Amino acid sequence: MKLYIPPQLTRLALAFAIFISLFLVLRHFLVPDTFGQYGHYRGASLIDNAQPEIHYAGQQACFECHQDIQDLKAQDVHSEIHCETCHGPGQKHVLSGESSDILKPTGREFCGLCHAMNAAKQKNAVFQVDLKKHNIGKNCIECHNPHQPWEMKK
């Protein structure tokens, strides 16, 4: 017995087929190439995210030319503090070697960022001084060597 398919159904099926094809064609052009490579996102975006230039060179890069200062620093309480914590981003300076490309911090407020009295700082985390009492009127680095704080300058 021959199966009877009503003509409106065939037409409907045709319409569906056309719409689905159209959808797939549009999708083909609209979805970026690497979309879905690793998940529901553009795989090439991982490469984009790895692209930006670095500004902080990392402490190891400084040792190449400033081993003397590292040797000083390693002997004292600031040994765990990396150069760029105080000197700011150094990648430009590492590439150029120019002193104008790096910061040289000064002032009592700078040391105070870490050493000023604050009840929120845990007692054993850092040594705190009262900036309003500790040798006022003088810059910290006039007495303390920033790289070797207990090596007092005379």
- Binding residues (CB under 8 A) for another protein: these are 21, 24-25, 27-28, 32, 35-36, 38-42, 45-46, 48-56, 58-59, 80-82, 84-85, 88-89, 109, 112-114, 116-122, 125-126
User: Is 77 among the residues that bind ligand HEC (CB under 6 A)?
Assistant: yes
Give me 40's structure tokens: 């529901």
CA 85, CA 16: separation in Å to the nearest integer? Answer: 64
Nearer to ligand HEC, 42 or 134 (CB): 134
Task: Return the residue of 11, 113, 117, 130 that touches ligand HEC, per CB under 6 A.
Answer: 113
CA 105, CA 154: separation in Å to the nearest integer? Answer: 20
| Amino acid present at 132 | K
Task: Return the residue of 34, 42, 105, 121 that touches ligand HEC, per CB under 6 A.
Answer: 105
- Map the footprint of ligand HEC across residues 36-75, applying CB under 6 A: 57, 61-62, 64-66, 69-70, 73
Contact in structure between 61 and 29 (CB atoms under 8 Å): no
Q: Is 62 exposed, middle or buried (0-12, 13-18, 19+ CB in 10 A)?
A: buried
Task: Give the interface size with ligand HEC as a residue count (CB under 6 A).
Answer: 47
Handedness of CA 90, 95, 97, 99 (dihedral sign): negative
DSSP E strands, the chain = 144-145, 148-152
CA 106, CA 88: separation in Å to the nearest integer? Answer: 13
User: Is 148 among the residues that bind ligand HEC (CB under 6 A)?
Assistant: no
Q: Which residues bind ligand HEC (CB under 6 A)?
A: 57, 61-62, 64-66, 69-70, 73, 77-78, 81, 83-87, 90, 93-94, 97, 99, 102, 104-105, 108, 110-115, 126-127, 129, 131, 134-135, 138, 140-144, 146-147, 149
